[in-house]
Amino acid sequence: MLVETKRFGVLQVREDQIITFPEGLPGFPGQRRFVLVDLQEGSPLKFLQSVDDPDLAFLVAEPLTFFPEYRVLVQPEDLAPIALEMPERGIVVTIVSVPEDFKQATVNLKAPVVINPETALGRQVILEGEDYGVRTPLFVTG
Amino acid sequence: MLVLTRRRGEVVTIGRDIEVMVLEIREDQVRLGIKAPKAVPVHRKEVYEAIEAENLRAAASLPDAGMIRNLTAQNLVKKGR
């Protein structure tokens, strides 16, 4: 199918590439369908683009590239909505906020987005027990 | 708002599927145990609101794809941790 976007033009997307978020995302409860857009092959940065709202996209980062120690520790019931029984099979990305100066970008490690590649279901989980911030600097500055 | 008084170990039910138990009472803190179906997300309100706010901020902050493409992945990884 064709997905219209503000930043990437019209994307040709296979149905099986559409990730469904049954609960939407916090702040965007009505947005259920997204696609992961590769900025450039092999890049740890991608976009999570809404299928239904051309204007809505998030820059997302593969957290382990930037934070090798990062761990997503959740309860099994946190992953039940996306039918992910083996957490290590999930794809984890974290949402980046980009101020004018890209070097000041921050990433939300408190609430990673977990995707089950087998069911194409996604969920933004909240790591209740962990001491991760919602605005962790993505880059070491200075 | 419905207001109920409960002692330690007592339970409030919400609908048929949700139970909230008072586990422990300290000076200005209450520990609650919550039983709810898997489909019902339970969060500390201020944490959930912080995630909502951050998502809205992230969506509003996204620059043009062109500008981001200019920052190549290689550069980003080198600058990253």
User: Hey, is the C-beta of B75 within 8 angstroms of any chain A C-beta?
Assistant: no
pTM passes above 0.80: yes
Question: A117 pLDDT exceeds 90?
Answer: yes
Burial label for B60, CB within 10 Å (0-12, 13-18, 19+), is: exposed
Question: A125 pLDDT exceeds 70?
Answer: yes
Q: A33 to chain B, minimum CA–CA distance in Å?
A: 15
Instruction: Select from A11, A62, A98 the residue whose CB has the most chain B CBs within 10 Å, as the one to mutate to test that interface.
Output: A98
User: 3-state SS string over chain B?
Assistant: CCCCCCCCCCEEEECCCEEEEEEEECCCCEEEEEECCCCCCCCCHHHHHHHHHHHHHHHHHCCCHHHHHHCCHHHHHHHCC
Tell me the ipTM for this assembly: 0.92
Q: B42 to chain A, minimum CA–CA distance in Å?
A: 10
User: Hey, is the C-beta of B61 within 8 angstroms of any chain A C-beta?
Assistant: yes
Q: A18 to chain B, minimum CA–CA distance in Å?
A: 19
Band of the pLDDT at B79, cuts 50, 70, 90?
A: very low
Instruction: Select from A7, A10, A79, A139 the residue whose CB has the most chain B CBs within 10 Å, as the one to mutate to test that interface.
Output: A7
Band of the pLDDT at B65, cuts 50, 70, 90?
A: low
- Is A126 within 8 Å of B77 when comparing Cβ atoms? no
Q: B7 to chain A, minimum CA–CA distance in Å?
A: 26
Cα-to-chain-centroid distance, residue B46? 7
pLDDT of residue B71: 56
The percentage of residues in chain A with a pLDDT greater than 70, rounded to a whole number, is 99
pLDDT of residue B51: 97
What digits encode the pLDDT tens for the residues A59-110? 999 999 999 999 998 888 888 889 898 888 899 999 999 888 888 899 999 9
- Is A26 within 8 Å of B47 when comparing Cβ atoms? no
The percentage of residues in chain A with a pLDDT greater than 90, rounded to a whole number, is 68
Nearest CA in chain B to A142: B79
Place of tokens 């959740």: A74
